[in-house]
Amino acid sequence: MIERRRLVLVLASLAGALAVAVVAATFLGSARLSPGEVLAVLTGRADASGTESVVIWGVRLPRIAAAALAGGALAVAGAGFQALTRNPLAEPSVLGVSSGAALGVVVAQLMGPAGGVTDALRLTVFGFAGAVTAGVVVYLIAATGAGLPVQTLLLAGVIVGMFFAAAITVVTSLVDINRLGGIVHWLLGNVSAIPPRALAVFAMLGMVGFWLIAGQARQLNVLALGEEAALQLGVNAERLKLRVFVGSALLTACVVAFAGPIGFVGLIVPHSLRMVVGPDHRLLVPAALVGGAIFLLVADTLARNVVAPAELSVGVLTSLCGAPFFIYLLRTRYRGGL
Amino acid sequence: MRPLVVVQDVDFAYPGAPAGRLALAHVALTVETGEIVGVIGPNSAGKTTIIRLLTKVVTPLRGTIVFDGASLAGWSRWELARHVAVVPQDMPAALPFTVEQLVLMGRYPHAPRRFFETPADLAAARAAMAETGVTELARVPVQTLSGGERQRVMVARALAQEPRLLILDEPTAHLDLRYQAECIGLLRRINRERGTTVVLVSHDLNLAAEVCDRLVLLSAGRVVRVGSPSDVLDAGRLSAVYGCDVMVTSSAVTGRPLVQVRWPEPAARGGETRIRV
């Protein structure tokens, strides 16, 4: 069928673009390595314990993997929340879900260091609890008998986000001053190289979240007609919404656990892709996974190169792009309310 | 032949409604295979609630609804959606899907576990689009269509479900005369050629009188009368139910009942004073 062929085509082109981005990111960095040195390391001709090898294998490639995973997960979570609320401005950070996850992760960080597999699980579980709490609170504030009005939902998200941010400040003020710097750095939204085992845990949890959303893509299309119409077409709307909410919250929690609350990726990527592949979630959700990976990888590569040898937080960069993007969408598409 | 739908003594109240305030009370009606039944009545008589009950969006507090010999409680959602389709009053304003994508959504209940539609699904969708005259709009986003086009697209989506029972919620409410005529012509053709049973929920009593084999008159959640249009559309009964002065004559063209409202005169005293001055 046409749709299946389109999906393959879209994913193949995006995968090609991702490969280009990965290669570019491998060659770029504040440690000035020549292309020849990078190639020598990649082909195994360089000294395995030399600086070049450590930079490539120990720093750049793990960071590339972490950035790609975080970007893909956030973009899919954004697409999930947008389908769930039928609100194109919904996104983990706008809905306050990221802040909820961040509070959970901060609490988990106080309980011990990060790094191992069990630490990764603990951070994600606490982050997930925070994300679900924030999501449920936002829903309860915004829900009316007739649905989720756009403005109320956004306001509820902002307010809940502010509340959780304040709660994070309270918790961090209890922290030992020596660890405070790390937590503040993480709160800005930073991708850093994390141990491969921990990364594998996050990737697997992320795949569960992705599957909960992508597996329901056809039903999500039907849900766009409204809940009653979806029920009348045979969609179990309650179960669908629960799965997509759990999936989106899990993806958000995963990313927040290792990269902090990086904002607006879930807004920018699905919107840009919708212009290319259209609104069909069977194309959009898989495309968001790869497109989000490209976006955050490029953003992170910029963040660690533009002010080298210093570094920008990638979360700062995405917010600098995302806030104007949000305003643009608000002004052009939703002027006068929806 | 057994009736397609039997509603037996159904009570229903929306959650949160004050205790004892029923949206529907003691509702009983049947729909025979192949007929066109009109559901009429004043605002908040329970017309939309009947649609929600028949499609299992809500479940009765008391009583049962039987579709094709089996209680609705025993039908799964998607099985029911293969047999019962609804043409809603309207769709969300911002709907970026194309007409063809939207009509294809009507195929969902036929294979809910499949990720992509099959060529057979596409054929059914194209047939439904041809029948409602929206084939040339296939690639057009739904949100750019006019009211009449949207209506035909919603009918096409319902037909793609290949239902035995088609329920229409105020199908002519937003349409001008020409589109009303087209919509009714389409409805009659579907009923005759496909043998689809139709339940038509409408405010338009004259339309219901012309199109329907039988009418169900609801008022304040109760069935007031079920019968042929000429039986149900009685001037005295309508005046009582609607709370205004209603006249019933008969159409010069078809002989069916023709309902008119005798509009109230402006308050007599004020008018007279002015004329004298």
- Mean pLDDT check: name the lowest of A240-244, A307-311, B20-24: A307-311
According to DSSP, residue B141 is labeled: B
A274 contacts B94? CB cut-off 8 A: no
Q: What integer best gives the mean pLDDT of chain B?
A: 91
The reply to whether residue B122 touches residue A217, judged by beta carbons under 8 angstroms, is: no
> Which of B102, B117, B161 is closest, CB to CB, to A1?
B117
Q: SS3 of B224, please? A: strand
Residue B234 CA to residue A12 CA, distance in Å, equals 68
| A56-101 tens-digit pLDDT | 888 889 999 999 999 999 999 999 999 998 888 899 999 999 999 9
Name the pairing type of β-strands B5-12 and B84-87.
unpaired
Q: Quick one: what percent of chain A has pLDDT higher than 70?
A: 96
CB of B52 within 8 Å of any CB in chain A? yes
- Give CA separation, B228 vs B32, B208, B209, in Å: 13, 11, 9
Nearest CA to A203 out of A58, A19, A69 is that of A69
β-strand B36-40 against B165-169: which pairing, if any? unpaired
Q: Give CA separation, A263 vs A120, A304, A315, A332, in Å.
A: 21, 18, 6, 21
Q: Could you give the CA distance from residue A187 to residue A181 in angstroms, rounded to a whole number?
A: 10
| Residue B271 C-alpha, separation from nearest chain A C-alpha, in angstroms | 43
Q: Does A3 touch chain B (CB under 8 A)?
A: yes
Q: Do A225 and B78 touch (CB under 8 A)?
A: no
Which of A103-107, A273-277, A308-312, B93-97 is predicted least confidently? A308-312
* CATH code reported for the domain at A2-333: 1.10.3470.10
Q: Of B233, B240, B198, give the one whose Cα is nearest residue B215.
A: B233
| Nearest C-alpha in A relative to B87 | A229
- In tens, the pLDDT along B234-249 reads 999 999 999 999 999 9
pLDDT given for residue B269 in this prediction: 60
Topology adopted by domain B1-83+163-232: Rossmann fold (3.40.50)
Q: CB B81 to CB A1 under 8 A? A: no
Nearest CA-CA partner of A252 in A47, A115, A76, A110: A76
CB contact under 8 A, A4 and B116: yes
Q: Would you call B91 and A279 a contact, using CB atoms and an 8 Å cutoff? A: no
Give the least confident one: A107-121, A156-170, B151-165. Answer: A107-121
Residue-range domain boundaries for chain B: 1-83+163-232, 92-162
- Convert the pLDDT of each residue in B94-120 to its tens digit: 889 999 999 999 999 998 889 999 999
Rounded to an integer, the average pLDDT of A246-265 is 93
The mean per-residue pLDDT over the stretch A163-172 comes to: 91
pLDDT above 70 (res B272): no
Query: Is B94 in CB contact (< 8 Å) with chain A?
Result: yes
pLDDT computed for residue A336 by the predictor: 42
Chain A residue with Cα closest to B139? A278
Interface mutation target, options A8, A150, A233, chain B, most CBs of B under 10 Å: A233
DSSP states of A275-332: HHH-S-HHHHHHHHHHHHHHHHHHHHHHHTTTTTTS---HHHHHHHHHHHHHHHHHHH
In eight-state DSSP terms, residue B109 is G
Where b means 16+ CB within 10 Å and e means fewer, B27-48 reads bebbbeeebbbbbbbbeebbbb
Task: Estimate to the nearest angstrom the gap between the alpha carbon of A73 and the chain centroid.
Answer: 4
The ipTM (two decimal places) reads 0.91
Of A187-196, A250-259, B21-30, B141-150, the range with the lowest mean pLDDT is A187-196
Distance between CA A269 and CA A79 in Å, rounded?
9
Chosen for mutation from A6, A222, A232 (greatest number of chain B CBs closer than 10 Å) is: A232
| Helix H or strand E encompassing B163 | none
Q: Which residue of B has its CA nearest to A334?
A: B94
Q: Which of A31, A32, A55, A29 is nearest to A42 (CA)?
A: A55
Min Cα–Cα distance to chain B from A232, Å:
6
* A positions 243-302 inside 8 Å of B (CB): 274, 278-280, 282
Which segments within A123-191 are labelled E, that is strand?
A: none
Asked if the C-beta of A238 comes within 8 angstroms of chain B's C-beta atoms, the answer is: no
Other Cβ atoms within 10 Å of A114 Cβ, number: 18
The mean predicted confidence, pLDDT, of chain A is: 89
Question: Which chain A positions have a beta carbon within 8 Å of B81's beta carbon?
Answer: 232-234
Model confidence at A337, in pLDDT bands (50, 70, 90)?
very low
A86 touches chain B (CB under 8 A): yes
Q: Which residues of B touch A217 (CB under 8 A)?
A: 115
